[in-house]
Structures are given as structure tokens and as C-alpha cells.
Amino acid sequence: MILIVVLGNYIAWIPRQNYIYPLHLDEWFGMACARQILTQGSAVDLIDPFYGGQPWLFQFAERGFHLLLGVLHKICGLDWLLIFRYIPSFIFSMVILATYIMGKRRGFGLESAFFISLLPTTVGILGPAFLVPVATGLLFIPLSLFIIHNINNWKGSIVLALFILYLLSFHAYTAVAIVVICFPYLLLNIKEDWKSSVRFGVASLLPFLLSYPFASRYVVQVLAGIFDLHAISIHVDFPWLVDSLGYVTFGMCLVGVFFISIRPNKRIFSLLVGFIILLLFIMLYYQFHYGITGLYERGLLYALLIANIIAGVGLAALRKMELNYSLFTSIPRRIVQYGQMILAGMLIILVVITLVPQRQSTPYYKMIDERDYQAFCWIREHYGGQNIKALIDPWKGTAFSAVTGLRITSRIIMTPTEIDHEIYEFLDSECQNTTFLVDNEISLVYTRQSCSNPNLILVHDNVYIIRDD
């Protein structure tokens, strides 16, 4: 188990081996929102940390996660860079251990934990190497499965309800995924223990009802878009699922599906049913472009998690299955068992030597470098807390606000907008257009390009402020 955790830590560490700053746009976004909560000393009536004023509707929908980041920084005294560099590996270790605990009693804990340790991280579906809500929320899926499978009393129901209630402020799509994955077991368990199913059913649905008055604006807008046609992101592609799993893992997943089907255990079989329902949501969105975009894009990561657990079931079944065929009747049982162990070992080695290089070659983008970060820190030290609007390369805008706490003119989220093109034109022309600065109420410019506007004063490397006169 220690080796599996070490492997998982390495997989989560790959994108950060030679980079000490947050990697993904969503990491910088989380850092900016967490700092805004700390600055205001409250998680309500928050101000947009990038532009000031009222935030857009979904900007603080994950404030439970932002609060967690703020607590890690403020109470635990951890530096922001340390949080984003090391906490993802720690959380992923917890996901691996939770998977092991969930599967141990059913005989597939080690195998599923092994496959989970190789879970991918990409810029599209995200993953355990990033400190983002969906990756952190993965921890609650095996924990919730463990609770409904093993704690069949009111205490377990309360814990599950608290999990889902917190996730609704943390990452609502994960809360929905937990209900989708767990609900088949509650239905299959009605005949044997209907009281437990009712308790867990109420525990699953009650948090949604309690939170609806506070989240009705979000819910109405999301549900209203279900029947709108959606474009499929080039970064999130459903057919890529098999390639990301790896063909050996995919094969083990099919083996797991086979053994679950012929030897039905309601706990494991319900997991398979939940997995199929999740895949149906994803396939319907991919094929017909209708549904909830967030559930499709994040659902791929949930599907990968469950697929790896099922692959663990398949590997455990191969390792332990009884061979009663006439072909093996003359072979001593111990020899057959050794053969099964050797086969399992060879499959594990094959998975590692094929998937680790794939994880190592996964491309990631970097928004800023050390020069940018040091300049941002200087700006924060000298201008932080002031009512200043800055102009910066929009690609670096999110990171700039996260570090400095200053407002910006624009930031790129997915693709450049009209104002972004205007900013690039301004920077490419050596900042000559003073009218552009005045019209957009810009007081500070950060650029590593040449800047020859006489109305801009160089106050630090690549940092300019506009003359008062």
C-alpha cells in the first residue's frame, strides 16, 4: 500500500517538478477568490477580485472550497505557493487510501487503489495534480460509498448528509455525482433493509432542498440550459476516455464488469449501475449536445474514478478466481494460484510501464514565470490595497489579481475577447495610446515588451504608472 501511495504522489507531482507556481487557470482563480474572502473577512457579499463590483453569478459558487484554501493559509500559516504545490499530492493520497478502505472488505482494496493512483490530470478534465474543487471532491466519492455500504444507521446518514451539504457549497457537481453513484445501491437494498435505504435517501436529497433557497439563482440558470445546444470543448473529449485509462486498464475494467455481472454482489453491482448512469449522461451530452455542461466536463473525471475502481475489481477477480476447468485438473492448486499471481503481477507492470510515460508526457500550460511573480509581489508590496486598475497581458490577468489583489482591465478565461485584442494591440504598439489608458481608467501597466509612452513612468522592472498630470 505504501508503494501505491508513493506512485500516486509521483503522478500528482509530475506537472510541478520544475514549476513552483499554481498551474491551471482554475488554481489562480481559487487563490484570488480565497484571498478576497480573507481581505473582506467574510464569505458573503463578496466583491469581484478581478474587476471590482458585483461578481458574476457563478463566480463564488465554490466558496466552500475557497474558504478551505483561506483556512489553510490563515490558520495553518501555509504559504500560497506551498499550498498549491504540495496539498494536491496529500489530497490524492487520501483519495487512494479512501478507495483502499472502501474496497478492502470486498477484496479489491489494493487493486482499486493501485489503478486510482494512476488517475490522469489534464488541462481539460482537470485531475488530482491540480488543487481545484473537482479534484478535492473526488475524496468524498469513495468515502460516501464506504458509508452507505458499512454504516447502516442514523450516524452514517448524518455524515452522508453533511458531506453532500458541504459539497453543494464546495463543488455542486460532485454532490450530484455522489447521488447518482450511490442511489442504485439504495434502490437495490430496499427489499433487505428498507429503513436504511430511506434514511440514506433522505440524507442524499435533504441537503439539496435545504440549500435551494440560497442557490435558486444558480439552479434555475443551470436547469434552463439543459435543452440548449452546447458546443463540445476541444479540451474535453469523451472518446479520449479509453486512451486515458490505458488499454490494459480498460481491459481490466471490462473484466471487472464481467465478474460483477456473473457474481452479483449488490454493493459492487450498484457501483456498476451508477457508473453506467454516469456514462449515459456523458454520452447523451456528447452525442446530442444537450444537458449540463459542468456535469459532462467534470463527469469524465468521476467516470474515470469509478472505471479504475471497477478495473481493480477485475484484477482482484483474476488473482483470486477458482479455476475448475478440466484443463487445470491435473495441475496442483498451488501452481495455478502462483500462475494467477504472476499474471496479475505482469498486468500491473504492464499498466505502470505504459501509463506512467503517458502521464509524464501530458502537456500543461504555465501562466507566469519567476520574473512575473517577483514583479507581482513588488506591486503588491507597494500598491496593494489601493484603488488601482492595472493593465497586463490578459493571459496573465488572473494570476496578477491573485497575487497583487489589484483590479485588472481584462483576463482571458477560454478565448480572447474584443478588449483582449485591444490590449494586445496597445502593448504591441509600445503603449503609445494614452487615450486607451485614460478611457479605461488604467493607473498601472505591467508589460515585458518595450514601452515608450512619455506619460508612463517606469517605477520597477516592467512596471509603469501613469503620470498624474
| CA contacts within 13 A on the Cβ side of 176 | 14
φ/ψ of residue 204, rounded to 5: -75, -35
φ/ψ of residue 459, rounded to 5: -110, -15
| Residue 291 per-residue DSSP state | S
SS (H, E, C) 425-456: HHHHCCCCCHHHHHHCCCCEEECCCCCCCCCE
Is residue 458 a contact partner of residue 447, using CB atoms and an 8 Å limit? Answer: no
Domain extents for the chain? 2-360, 370-466
DSSP string, 230-271: -PPPTT--TTHHHHHH-HHHHHHHHHHHHHHHHS--HHHHHH
* Segment holding 51, helix H or strand E: none
Query: pLDDT at position 326, please?
Result: 42
Query: pLDDT at position 232, please?
Result: 67
240: alpha, beta or left, given left = phi > 0 and alpha = psi -120 to 50?
A: alpha
Which residue type sits at 137? Answer: G
Q: 389: helix, coil or strand?
A: strand
Q: 44: helix, coil or strand?
A: coil
Query: pLDDT at position 233, please?
Result: 66
β-strands 389-392, 444-446 pairing:
parallel
Name residues whose C-beta falls within 8 Å of residue 109's C-beta, 6 or more positions apart in sequence. Answer: 99, 100, 101, 102, 103, 312
**For the whole model, what pTM was predicted?**
0.89
Q: Give the integer Cα–Cα distance in Å for 11 and 421.
A: 37
Name residues whose C-beta falls within 8 Å of residue 375's C-beta, 6 or more positions apart in sequence. Answer: 446, 460, 461, 462, 463
Is residue 160 a contact partner of residue 203, using CB atoms and an 8 Å limit? Answer: yes
Is residue 135 a contact partner of residue 18, using CB atoms and an 8 Å limit? Answer: no
Query: pLDDT at position 224, please?
Result: 66
Nearest to 33 by CA among 65, 57, 81: 65
Q: Give the integer Cα–Cα distance in Å for 414 and 323.
A: 54
- Dihedral (CA of 177, 84, 127, 119) sign: negative
Which three cell numbers, joined as nine digits, stand for 256?
471487472
Q: Give the integer Cα–Cα distance in Å for 293 and 228.
A: 10
What are the per-10-residue average pLDDT scores of the chain (469 residues)? Answer: 92 92 93 91 84 75 88 86 93 96 89 94 89 93 92 88 91 90 88 85 89 76 69 61 83 90 83 90 80 79 93 87 52 69 86 91 91 94 89 94 93 89 92 90 91 89 85
Which residue type sits at 309? Answer: I
- Dihedral (CA of 152, 155, 157, 162) sign: negative
